[in-house]
Each structure stands twice: as structure tokens, then as C-alpha cells.
Amino acid sequence: MQRDRSNTLTVVRQAGKSCPDCGEQRPADAFYRRPDGRLSTYCKVHQRQRSKASYRRRRQDPAELVRMREQERVRKRTTRARLSKLDPEREARLRKSRLAAVRRLIAAHSDEYRALLEQERCADRGRSGGGQGVA
């Protein structure tokens, strides 16, 4: 029986792929898989390095940073609006869920929580002058 040569994805998965950055032939699991099932161009190690470099480069340019933040705000706003139309009770459920999670954390780590509260109170007193009058 002959192999199905029309399905190139099967062939790539079996044989692996070469990363252009390192030039090494690597197995398929050394590459990220795209949503369409294909393998990424670069191996996981080099893909992460490229992503970090790109992130840093974009963050250094103030205009690009402002543009990215605004783009993210718009994306979140539209997603929130779309989801609230689909499920109006969603925000209330999430709020309750977050509150319950916080309560469970406080109950599980009450000593740490009290220590953190005390640190915050001390910091607040330090910022407000410690309650002492100024002469």
C-alpha cells in the first residue's frame, strides 16, 4: 500500500523540520503548532527569542507603546461589550467567583493576610505623617 503523498502535513510531522535560525533538523515536537495544524517557521527556542526581542523593540518606541496600549484597550472593550450582549449575567457571576476565590485564599492563609494588612497600615501611616502634628 502506498503512502498518501497528497497529505504533506503527515510527511512533515514524521520527518520534522529545519529551523532557519539554527539550521538544525529537528523533530516536529520542537516546533509550535499553528491553529491550522502547520508547524511554525522557527523552533520553539528561537521562536521565544524572536518574540522577546520583538516585544522589547516595540516597548522601546514610545509611539509604538502608546499605539499598542490603545489597541489593547479597544480590544478588551469590544470583547467585554460582545460578551455582555451574549450573556448579561456574566460580569455578576465573574465578580462573585472572584470574591469567593479571594475569601478562600484569605481563609487558607489568614496569618499571611493579617501580616500583609498590617504592612499596608504601617505604610499608610508613614505616608500620612504617622498621625503626628506638624509644628
pTM: 0.42
Radius of gyration, CA atoms only, the chain? 26
pLDDT tens sequence across 51-99 = 999 888 888 888 888 998 999 999 999 998 999 899 989 889 999 999 9
Distances (CA, A) of 132 to 66, 71, 119: 42, 47, 19
pLDDT tens sequence across 92-105 = 999 999 999 999 99
Tell me, yes or no, whether 3 lies in a domain.
Answer: no
Q: Does 113 lie in the same domain as 66?
A: yes
Residues of the domain holding 91: 61-121
User: In three state form, how does the secondary structure of the chain look?
Assistant: CCCCCCCHHHHHHHHCEECCCCCCEECHHHEEECCCCCEEEEEHHHHHHHHHHHHHHHHHCHHHHHHHHHHHHHHHHHHHHHHHHHCCCHHHHHHHHHHHHHHHHHHHCHHHHHHHHHHHHHHHHHHCCCCCCCC
Give, rounded to a whole angstrom, the gap between the first and last alpha carbons of the chain: 97
Q: State the average pLDDT for the chain.
A: 85
Q: How many domains does the chain have?
A: 2
Tell me, yes or no, whether 107 lies in a domain.
Answer: yes
Q: Does 74 lie in the same domain as 34?
A: no
Q: Does 77 lie in the same domain as 30?
A: no
